[in-house]
Amino acid sequence: MGYQVYVPSFQDSNGDGWGDLPGVTSRLGYLADLGVTIIWLSPIHPSPFVDHGYDVSDYRAVNPRFGTLHDLETLLGEADDRGLRVLMDLVPNHTSAEHEWFGQARHDRHSPYRDFYIWRDPGPGGGPPNNWVSRFGGSAWAWDEEAGQYYLHLFARSQPDLNWRNPAVAEEFDSIMSAWLDLGFSGFRVDVPHVVLKHPDLPDNPLVPEDQVVTDVRGSREWWRFQHRYDMDQPDLLDIYARWRAVTAPRGAMLLGEVNITDPGRLRRHSADLGLDTVFWFGLIEHRWEPDRFTEWTRKALDGASGLVWVLSSHDRPRAPSRYGGGATGRRRALTMAALTVGLPCFPLLYQGDELGLEDAMVPADQVQDPLLRSGGATYARDAARTPMPWSATPGLGFTDSPEPWITLGGRTPGQTVSAQRRDPASTLNAYRRLLRLRADDSDLRHGKLRWLPAGQGVISYVRGSTLVVANLSPDPATITLPEGRWQLTFRTDDPGPGHQAMGTAEIPAEHTWILRRD
Ligand code: NOJ
């Protein structure tokens, strides 16, 4: 079971208003107790924080804001003692413009670092070299006065893209990755690995026909106006993946790719044997409540690709309960979805606060920090999913003693805190604890052979070994025929009490998941 720790907002240990590494260490007991086995730490390197740490200015150091190398070693050691594997967030597509490599590159055409980035002269009309757009809005090219050329940035202007066609870049990353694995990391969550290679000729991307342009949950439309044929997912990307695997595989370390491709056919080559060990499956996170799509896509995804990591929320998307309608309905639907994914092959991964049923926080418009919103690339500020973990109903939520946390506390209520939910048997936290315990204790849910059962519209049902999972996402109760035998109910979305037995058929309430175990 995976868990994403968003370091700046998890636990502050020194009262400066920022979450930090000793803070994470102090909460390892909470995570282990929850049933977590793999932790992904959001970026911990020095960074001007324009894109909240995804703009790295030194890959070989720890951001002093988060602690010291010694603090990191302590965290990794204590995690290991508890049987927790920790993944580092590796950001290979771009650096911060403040990285020393970029400083040298823009300053000196003959520097060995010039070719670490992607430079071009203006296009024929004097403007940008091609029509590529940044994920954060506007052209993907920025004119650099000092360098006298344009550089490519698929994200913010202050995040220049690295040139992975230069072998020296790959060599640097081999060495960076090896060093962190030697320190005790168990692998990497790799940031946007599918975009690191671009077509060598940088041709214009074709436009999507106007009536087929979609907008994602973050509201960014400009990006989706184009077919991203030449700025991502290039055929020879597999050579880069193989190279990374050559560093991680001998050490038994894991690569978890943030590959934002939801066509299972196209995703296949990024995952398992051909690509990375595991990849996120974003088919469930990009959408609001769409039962038919979820049931259909979950099956399609599994039939198409392997090594899928199941996520419902992250620091980049509106939180699942908000996407699913908000309030008690949104929370119930999110738990129903979490229970659906708990027995799917590979593993599910929670985002901090999922286990509390947290909805998006309230962030006043004048306090928004997200470059995606500020550059006009979206109508949704990711800050709403990035506010601090509410540990207790104290002024700083048990997150910080500082009166000025780095981001707003988000208007959390006492009932949303860990301490209140711990005491309430009917809380979302206790439901997640039961669910995660079940996965930990029932090896069939992790290793059993998966077999789909026939199910009606909006219902998805599978058996793994002697365990049966039925998710009824439809708005009506669903009667399902149980496979032969006596079945013991071990989990249901709405019920903290001990399970009952069922035989023959079972009626699953609307928008509920049941998990049953053969007696
Ligand atoms: C994906 C990260 O999750 C997101 O937060 C970031 O803005 C982009 N990659 C760029 O690094």
Question: pLDDT digits over 64-89, tens only?
Answer: 999 999 999 999 999 999 999 999 99
CA–CA separation, 168 and 116 (whole Å) = 8
Structure tokens at 479: 């009667």
Active-site residue, from 55, 172, 231, 258: 258
User: Which residues share a beta bridge with 471?
Assistant: 460, 513
The conformational region for residue 377 under phi > 0 = left, psi -120 to 50 = alpha, else beta, is alpha
State residue 501's pLDDT score: 78
The residue to mutate among 41, 45, 47, 51, having the most atoms of ligand 1 within 8 angstroms of its beta carbon, is 51
At residue 295, what are phi and psi to the nearest 5 degrees?
Answer: -70, -45
Q: What is the Cα 72 distance to its own chain's centre? A: 21
pTM of the entire predicted model: 0.97
CA–CA separation, 293 and 290 (whole Å) = 5
Q: Is 191 a catalytic residue?
A: yes
CA–CA separation, 204 and 199 (whole Å) = 10
pLDDT, one tens digit per residue, over 7-60 is 999 999 999 999 999 999 999 999 999 999 999 999 999 999 999 999 999 999
The end-to-end CA distance of the chain, in Å, is 25
Cβ atoms within 10 Å of 498's Cβ, excluding its own: 8
Task: Kindly give the pairing relationship between strand 459-464 and strand 467-472.
Answer: antiparallel
Active-site residue, from 20, 191, 231, 360: 191
Burial class (CB in 10 A: 0-12, 13-18, 19+), 147: middle
Taking 90 as the threshold, does the pLDDT of residue 216 lie above it?
A: no
Structure tokens at 452: 């789909």
DSSP 226: B
Q: Which atom of ligand 1 is nearest to the CA of 94?
A: 11
Q: Answer yes or no: is the C-beta of 191 below 6 A from any ligand 1 atom.
A: yes
Query: Which of 373, 497, 487 shows the shortest CA–CA distance to 425?
Result: 497
Give the pLDDT mean for 371-392.
92
Cβ–Cβ under 8 Å, residues 290 and 264: no
Protein residue with least CA distance to atom 5, ligand 1:
316
Domain 100-152 has CATH 3.90.400.10: yes
Cβ atoms within 10 Å of 443's Cβ, excluding its own: 12
* Half-sphere CA count of 500, side-chain side, radius 13 A: 5
Return the domain boundaries, the chain: 2-93+167-436, 100-152, 449-518
State residue 497's pLDDT score: 65
CATH of region 449-518: 2.60.40.1180
Helix (H, G, I), strand (E, B) or coil at 336: helix
State residue 498's pLDDT score: 64
Cβ–Cβ under 8 Å, residues 87 and 40: yes
Q: Answer yes or no: is the C-beta of 54 below 6 A from any ligand 1 atom.
A: yes
> Domain 2-93+167-436 has what CATH class?
alpha beta
Q: Out of 165-169, 217-221, 225-229, which region has the weakest mean confidence (pLDDT)?
A: 217-221
Rounded (10°) angle between helices 327-341 and 291-304:
20
Q: Which atom of ligand 1 is nearest to the CA of 136?
A: 7
Q: Answer yes or no: is the C-beta of 51 below 6 A from any ligand 1 atom.
A: yes
Protein residue with least CA distance to atom 11, ligand 1:
54
State residue 119's pLDDT score: 98
Taking 80 as the threshold, does the pLDDT of residue 403 lie above it?
A: yes
Q: Is 296 a catalytic residue?
A: no
Q: Answer yes or no: is the C-beta of 192 below 6 A from any ligand 1 atom.
A: yes
